[in-house]
Amino acid sequence: GIDISPDILIAAKKTLTERGLQAKLPHLTLTGDLRLEFLPDDHFDVIHAHSVFSHSPLSVIDECLAHVGRVLTETGFFDFTFDRTEGTEHQVLREDFYYRTDTLLTLAAQHNLHARFMEDWEKRPHGQSKIRVSRSPLPS
């Protein structure tokens, strides 16, 4: 796991201990950006960013999408949640960011990634939307 917040990583370590997951040898890393330079190429089958892009300006999302393909395996995928709007994209107090689906799909394509809006995710009662991104075309 990676995060920009030391407090979140401390909470993650506490959760790992409480749930007895230390034997899985988790790696928790503090990072200040999403260039993912410290991660190996062609390594991850699944990457998930939950409630990260809902708090990120478009430039941060662009930075992540510019580099996530490098660390994914050919058959791997990157799922991320976001706050979706069908109206004007906007932010609230530079903390909550709302994006149109097409904006994020287009941004992924600009980085030669294949992206799909996960419609089934909309049926869940969590309030966010999800997109799946991969290096190879995604099955329908």
pLDDT value at residue 115 = 97
Residues 61 and 107 sit within 8 Å (Cβ to Cβ): yes
User: pLDDT per residue over 115-136, tens digit each?
Assistant: 999 998 888 888 899 999 999 9
CA angle 31, 126, 72 (to 5 degrees): 40
Cβ(61)–Cβ(104) under 8 Å?
A: yes
Strand partners, 114: 134
Alpha-carbon distance of 106 to 50, in angstroms, equals 20
pTM of structure: 0.90
Q: Is the dihedral of CA 44, 46, 52, 58 positive or negative?
A: positive
* pLDDT at residue number 53: 95
pLDDT at 6: 94
Q: Residues 66-112: pLDDT tens digits? A: 999 999 999 999 999 999 999 999 999 989 999 999 999 999 999 99
Confidence at residue 140, expressed as pLDDT on a 0 to 100 scale: 66
Q: Please write the tens of the pLDDT for every residue from 26-75.
A: 999 999 889 999 999 999 999 999 999 999 999 999 999 999 999 999 99
Distance from first CA to last CA of the chain, Å, rounded?
Answer: 29
Give yes or no for a contact between 84 and 121, defined as CB atoms under 8 angstroms apart: no
| Cβ–Cβ < 8 Å for 64, 23 | no
Domains of the chain in start order, with CATH, are: 1-32 (no CATH), 35-134 (3.40.50.150)
Q: Of 108, 41, 47, which is closest to residue 70 (Cα–Cα)?
A: 41
pLDDT of residue 123: 84
